[in-house]
Structure 1
């Protein structure tokens, strides 16, 4: 059984030698037989990786030591190893958005999976799926709006055309593992939206935390690896790949995270 682990962390690496950090992390991946992709940027780290549970524990421990932080990693499991190689990439952003945001502005916007159902059932709450159209097609939350984007960086255009802070006072959002919402939430706050909520840990955390009979999730959740999707039990799904990654590696600069 393979453990598939996702994690991200926004931290200031602008003063670090990212190429040296890349080499150090890649060495650890090789030594511990870790497969998958890690993205490094001046703003932090984002990853989806897989290995045996024992090797994964050792790898996360080594990353904590290398980065001087405590990573919050979330895992699913599969009988099949969903990645073929170990990769570490250096990019400008760990999830490509194209807009600078003040992360501190989003303090207090995180909603736990246990509280999420109550939030999105409230009258006057606009629920935004911040993922892309091909992800939305195979599963989403009941009542969610599909911005019909091809890339996360398309979302600001959707906001300009469809959302008004004077009319849309309450906006809730979600993504696969949380990383996209960490940028989208402070972006909306800077645009003047009054009450912004983001699902803590994303869809994967919700599916792991909320009993199946209480879930408002519908369908399966797209993941950026060879499984294509996971079901409500976080087991490999049966969905068709609608993405433009079909037949290619599904890991892009915008997300190797369920994600995140």
Structure 2
């Protein structure tokens, strides 16, 4: 097969799905029979997933999803790939599509949230000096790439966002606030959380960074670094112009680098930025303690880790 015979799909849709557990079971069987790989979450509030497969497989999958009238208009974001970007196929029923854990959650993205902006509209608004830009992702995603001058969230997980917003919302109440995330799903409730905290003039990037990078009018401009993705690619390019830069640094030597690896200590398994030279020198361990850990999985003979656990941040 050529390098363009595989596709990666990224998608979500908020819709009432009372039969979510049965839907998840049937969905998993269909995906396995088809030969797809990826991660899908099914919840009472809808569907959120990313899968990889051949062109034929993903076409059949999109037809299957849209055959359910509840998902007839679902939007799929499509990337080309050299092969599968996942090792296995998971479809998990969960209480939420994104792990917010909001007490007494009454934020319904279908009726309450920020105004959607097309990439060109978002790009134009980014250049307004009175606009606040909030990254709706986690710190490790921001570290390797983000929109210029975007506020870095002081969070490690999505569930920490509601408290962080509540603590900071007062300073944004008289501002125009833009939000963005990888594919758009986190902003659906993030903008609602902002509005619940009195921030009324709120907007979100429709389709997220994924759609922004492909828009011919903006070509990823004003995004520095790469976009973190939750598959084996780990990061993907965004800025398609000469403005493209590397903004992260190797944690060992400080060299400009946007390459993430998993720590070779399975008890830690932290993803961190590391250049190829330091991966070999430090045996892929993020600290001395991890290097000396008795379960360290570095294979000195092969110069690589014996195995890597899947990284599934929330």
What TM-score do you get using the length of structure 2 for normalisation? 0.73
C-alpha spacing 1:129/1:242, structure 2 compared with 1 (3 Å) = farther
Residue 96, structure 1, aligned to residue 115, structure 2: no
- Give the Cα separation in 2 of the matches to 1:95 and 1:72: 18
C-alpha spacing 1:160/1:190, structure 2 compared with 1 (3 Å) = closer
Residue 7, structure 1, aligned to residue 18, structure 2: no
Task: State the Cα distance separating 1:167 from its structure 2 match.
Answer: 4.6
C-alpha spacing 1:97/1:210, structure 2 compared with 1 (3 Å) = farther
Structure 1 SS opposite 2:170: coil
2:38 paired residue number: 36
- Please, what is the CA RMSD of the aligned residues? 2.2
Task: State the Cα distance separating 1:122 from its structure 2 match.
Answer: 1.3
C-alpha spacing 1:5/1:61, structure 2 compared with 1 (3 Å) = same
Task: State the Cα distance separating 1:40 from its structure 2 match.
Answer: 0.5
2:121 paired residue number: 115
Structure 2 SS opposite 1:163: helix
2:284 paired residue number: none
Kept after mapping to 2: 8 A contact 1:114/1:210:
no
Q: Where does structure 1 lack aligned partners over 5 or more consecutive residues?
A: 255-260
Instruction: Show the 5 A alignment for 1:65-214.
Output: 65-66=67-68, 68-70=70-72, 71-99=74-102, 100=105, 101-103=107-109, 104-106=111-113, 109-164=115-170, 167-211=173-217
Compare CA radii of gyration and give the structure with the larger one: 2
- Give the Cα separation in 2 of the matches to 1:172 and 1:23: 37
Deviations for 1:4-39, whole angstroms, at most 9, x for unmatched residues? Answer: 00100000012x1x3321221112112211100110
Structure 2 SS opposite 1:95: coil
The one of 40, 46, 51 equivalent to 2:48 is 46
Of structures 1 and 2, the one with the larger relative CO (CA 8 A, separation 6+) is 1
1:258 paired residue number: none
C-alpha spacing 1:29/1:157, structure 2 compared with 1 (3 Å) = same
- Give the Cα separation in 2 of the matches to 1:38 and 1:9: 12
C-alpha spacing 1:30/1:214, structure 2 compared with 1 (3 Å) = closer
Number of equivalences: 248
- Give the Cα separation in 2 of the matches to 1:95 and 1:62: 23
